[in-house]
Structure 1
Amino acid sequence: MTGTPRFYIVQEDILPEALIKTVQAKELLLSGEVTTVAQAVERVGLSRSAFYKYKDKVFPLQNWGRGRTVVISLLLEHRSGVLSGVLSKIAAVHGNVVTINQDFPRQGVAGVTVTVETSQLTTGVEQLLVLLREQPGVRQAVFLGEGE
C-alpha cells in the first residue's frame, strides 16, 4: 500500500484471530498485568512475530485518538519554519506536545518524532495526520503508536 493510510471500522467477528489477539496482548501490557511482550503473547496464544507485525496497525475503537499520548514520526525539509509550522498545526487542534526528538539533518531532510497528548484534541489522530501532511515542508507524517 502506498500513499496515505486509510482506516476502517469493522466488526470484531470478521477480523482474523491474530488481529484480535494482538489487541488483547497490547491490553495486557498496558494494564500492567504482564510486563513483557513474551508474557503477553504466551497468555493470549499468539506468536511474537504476529504481534510485532500488527501491533502498530490495530487498536480498539475506544482507544483511537482520544485521551492518551500518541507518537508521530515526521520527515521534514530542513529549512526555517517547517518545524514551527508543524507545532502550530498541532496546537491549532489543541494537541499538547509532550516531547520532540529531531535527528541531525541529512540531504536536506530531518526525521522528527513528536509525542502528542490528545485529551483536548478537537479532531481525531487520523485527521491530525492529514493536516500535518498538508503542511509545507512535511514530506511524511506517520502514526507510530501510543506513547507511554
Structure 2
Amino acid sequence: MSRKQFYLVREDMLTDAMQKTLNAKALLDSGKIKKINEAVTIAGLSRSAFYKYKDGIFPFNTMVKEKIITLSINLVDRSGTLSQLLQKIAETGANVLTINQTIPLQGRAHITLSIDTSPMKIDLDELMEQVEVVDSVEKVELVGSGF
C-alpha cells in the first residue's frame, strides 16, 4: 500500500465545496450542531459533497496538533530575551525540544525552535500570537511541522 501524499494549500485555492465542508466540520466540532444534516444545510452544502471531502480536508492547525513544529524567530539581542521567549512558550504548555541560535549580529539573533505542541492548552494560531507579542520578537514564522 502506498503512502498518501499531503499538500498545504492556501484557503482561497480550495473549491467552494471544500470550504463549505470545512465550515460544516467546524460547526459539528464546536458542539453547537449535533447532526450532519443540520451542519450541511447551514453551510450550504449537499450531504454527498460533505461525505466526499470530510475525511480528506482539515484545517492546518488541526493537522499540527499533537505534533512537532519548527518556528523561525528574529529576536532583538538584549539580556534575558531568550528567557522571556521560552517562558512565554512554556506558559502555553508547549514543550521546546531543540533551540538553535545564531551569534547575534547588529543587535539581532535568529532562533529556530522545534516544539512539541501536543501538551499545549491553546491552538497554534494563539501560540504564534503569544510569541509575536514578546517585546524582543521582531518576526516569527512557522517553517515546518512533523506529521
- Aligned residue for 1:129, secondary structure, equals helix
1:135 paired with 2:134, answer yes
CA 89–103 in structure 1, closer or farther in 2 if over 3 Å, else same? same
Runs of 5+ in structure 1 lacking a partner? 1-7, 16-58
| Distance in structure 2 (CA, Å) of the matches to 1:129 and 1:78 | 20
| Distance in structure 2 (CA, Å) of the matches to 1:103 and 1:88 | 20
Aligned-residue offset at 1:64: 3.6
Query: What is the RMSD computed on CA atoms of the aligned residues?
Result: 2.7
| Distance in structure 1 (CA, Å) of the matches to 2:102 and 2:66 | 28
Structure of greater Rg: 2
Identity across aligned pairs (percent)? Answer: 29
- Corresponding pairs, count: 99
| Distance in structure 1 (CA, Å) of the matches to 2:141 and 2:83 | 18
Aligned-residue offset at 1:12: 4.7
| Distance in structure 1 (CA, Å) of the matches to 2:106 and 2:70 | 24
Q: What does residue 104 of structure 1 align with?
A: 103
Aligned-residue offset at 1:14: 3.4
Equivalent in 38, 59, 77 of residue 61 of structure 1: 59
Q: Report matched runs for 1:31-46 at 5 Å.
A: none
Aligned-residue offset at 1:10: 7.3
| Distance in structure 2 (CA, Å) of the matches to 1:75 and 1:96 | 20
| TM-score, normalisation: structure 2 | 0.59
Letter in 1 for 2:87: S
| TM-score, normalisation: structure 1 | 0.59
1:64–1:125 CA contact under 8 A, matched in 2: no
| Distance in structure 2 (CA, Å) of the matches to 1:108 and 1:14 | 47
